[in-house]
Amino acid sequence: MPLEDYLSHRNLVAEAMKRSRYFFAYRPGENLGRAQQDDPLSSRYFEAIGGGAILLGSRPGAKEYDECFPWPDATIEIPFEAHDLREIIADLDAQPERIATARMNNIVQTLRTLDWVYRWARILDRAGLPVTEAMRHRMAALERLADMAEERETAALECLG
C-alpha cells in the first residue's frame, strides 16, 4: 500500500520504532555490493536510534557517523549476508544488560546531542549569534527527559544485576 506523502511515511516509521526492539540499517548500496568508503549517513540511523530500537547492520563509512554516534553499540554489526538472524537475535536477547545499556545510550544521547535544536545552535554559533530563549527551553526539557530515561534504565539495570 503506497503512502500518500512523506509525513505518512515518517509517522509509519516512528510507530514502528516505538514498538521495535531491533531495527536493521545497512550502508547504502551494501545489498548490491556497491557500498563506498565514504558513503552517506542515512536518516535511518537517526530514526532507529532516536526511537529506542537497537540498531543492527553496518556502520556507514561517513566520518559524520562517528561524530554523531560515538558511544558503544550505537550500531551492532551484523553482516548483510548473515543467514542466522534468529541465532543472532537470540544471542543478543541473552545479553539483557548489554541491550539495556545500548538502548539507554541511544535514547539519552539522542536527547542530549542529536535533536535539531543542537544543530541550529551550532549554526547560530558559527554565525556569531546567540541561541534563542525558546531553544534554551527546549534544551532544558530534553535534558530533563534524558535524566529521566537514565534514572529509569539505571533502575532497570539494577534489577537485571
| Spatial distance between the Cα atoms of 137 and 131, rounded to a whole number of angstroms | 10
C-alpha cell at 121: 545552535
**Beta-carbon-side half-sphere exposure of residue 142 (alpha carbons within 13 Å):** 19
What pLDDT is recorded for position 33?
A: 60
What pLDDT is recorded for position 143?
A: 97
Over residues 34-56, mean pLDDT: 79
C-alpha cell at 120: 541550529
Q: Write out pLDDT tens, residues 54-110.
A: 999 988 878 888 899 999 999 999 988 888 999 999 999 999 999 989 999 999 999
What pLDDT is recorded for position 140?
A: 98
Residues 6+ apart with CB under 8 A from 31: 80
Question: b/e for 118-136, b at 16 or more Cβ within 10 A?
Answer: beebeeeeeeeeebeeebe
Please tell me the pTM assigned to this model: 0.80
Over residues 22-33, mean pLDDT: 74
| Spatial distance between the Cα atoms of 97 and 103, rounded to a whole number of angstroms | 10
| Spatial distance between the Cα atoms of 99 and 22, rounded to a whole number of angstroms | 10
